[in-house]
Structure 1
């Protein structure tokens, strides 16, 4: 997988939206928010920064596998983590 051959840290930022409880958006950095699809931004509402995380040092995340998050960010620029009981991600 992509993350297994990536040298060095892979930091990303996590945001939560005002409209969707327990829904989180992972992006490479704040500048990446400018390129998000308008529909995602509309559905999420105002975004609030939650944390920065180095995915290359994590073996697990609360809901998703770090490798899946990395793959989505590299492929489409973001990873959308939905609440438990919904589809696990939008990638």
Structure 2
């Protein structure tokens, strides 16, 4: 008997967040867990904290990724790694610089 649950249009996915970096996530097949995630990535990621389990379909709306890309990465590599969004440096500099009105 072959297991074709990952070959169809649905995937039971477990999502973990990093305790070290905000908005860093790992998506994996719930049945396989973290078994296929490289050790070096887990060291950088920190001890994974499970945040949710969901059924992914290609048309599922995700905040910062295409569900179809997440599913393809899990099928190909065994995981999908989501980095935090890039912060615009100039916006951070504007925030850090005190503003003064000079007349």
TM-score (norm 2): 0.70
Does the aligned pair in 2 maintain the 1:19–1:44 contact within 8 Å? yes
Shift of 1:10: 1.3
Alignment of structure 1 residues 1-80 onto 2, 5 Å: 6-7=8-9, 9-29=10-30, 31-56=32-57, 58-80=59-81
Relative to structure 1, the CA distance from residue 54 to residue 70 in structure 2 (aligned partners, 3 Å threshold; closer, same or farther) is same
How many residue pairs match? The answer is 81
TM-score (norm 1): 0.78
Shift of 1:30: 6.0
What is the distance in 2 between the residues matched to 1:31 and 1:69?
Answer: 15
Unaligned runs of 5+ in 1: 87-91
Shift of 1:31: 3.6
Query: Is the radius of gyration larger for structure 1 or structure 2?
Result: 2
Question: 20-29 or 30-39, which moves further after superposition?
Answer: 30-39
**Quick check: which one's strand share is greater?**
1
Deviations 1:10-54 (A, max 9, x none): 110000111121100000026431231011100011110000111
